[in-house]
A and B are shown apart, each in its own frame.
Chain A
Amino acid sequence: DAKTTQPPSMDCAEGRAANLPCNHSTISGNEYVYWYRQIHSQGPQYIIHGLKNNETNEMASLIITEDRKSSTLILPHATLRDTAVYYCIVRVFGSARQLTFGSGTQLTVLP
């Protein structure tokens, strides 16, 4: 699976959009981009995933660049409960394989 690079930490004001970047410059054509988050003392939680088109669900939006070498997770209106470590993971489609977690981005939503 391709390696990902994320900033170690970010702050965001409550109510504002949180934009979390991820670089995956070695991504291959059959690899999806997944985002998970881990709130303190809880298990990781799935947020969203995509291949090349932008995706949106009730939690977030995922913007993938045209060359697929980077992506951005957008939480449109961050709340204090969104404070967590956010992981960007690239994973081969069609594989019952494990998720390979990096060090993620600690997002702190400030009141």
Chain B
Amino acid sequence: DTAVSQTPKYLVTQMGNDKSIKCEQNLGHDTMYWYKQDSKKFLKIMFSYNNKELIINETVPNRFSPKSPDKAHLNLHINSLELGDSAVYFCASSQGQGNQPQHFGDGTRLSIL
């Protein structure tokens, strides 16, 4: 009964490759997010979708492209992976605008060789 699930949990790949991370939430939320946590443990927002529409797009290289096929899914595709992309990527979801808390997945640990 996992609320926010990400796949894969671990991803090891070589520089230059293209990879995707998938996220699904079964909470019925209408807003989903991608965060990146770097080696210094700082969590930073990357993207946010509300009802499949992009509402937040922070300063992220255009090699990163989120896709939301429906409200329950927000996938992250990364082209031409670079060493600096190594991090833990967290997906989260919340219900609408307001003060509702965000629910996070357990992260995808991406390592670039």
Q: Which residues of B contact A (CB under 8 A)?
A: 4, 31, 33, 35, 41-45, 48, 50, 55-56, 58, 90, 92, 94, 96-99, 101-107
Contact = CB atoms under 8 A, between A and B. Distances in A.
7 contacts: A43-B4, A43-B90, A93-B98, A94-B98, A96-B31, A96-B98, A101-B44
A42 B43 CA distance: 13
A101 B43 contact: yes
Q: Is the interface of B mostly helix, strand, loop or mixed?
A: strand
A99 B45 contact: yes
Nearest to A42: B106
Contacts of B4: 43
Give the bracket for the number of chain A residues in contact with chain B: 20 to 34
A98 B48 contact: yes
A53 interface: no
A93 B84 CA distance: 34
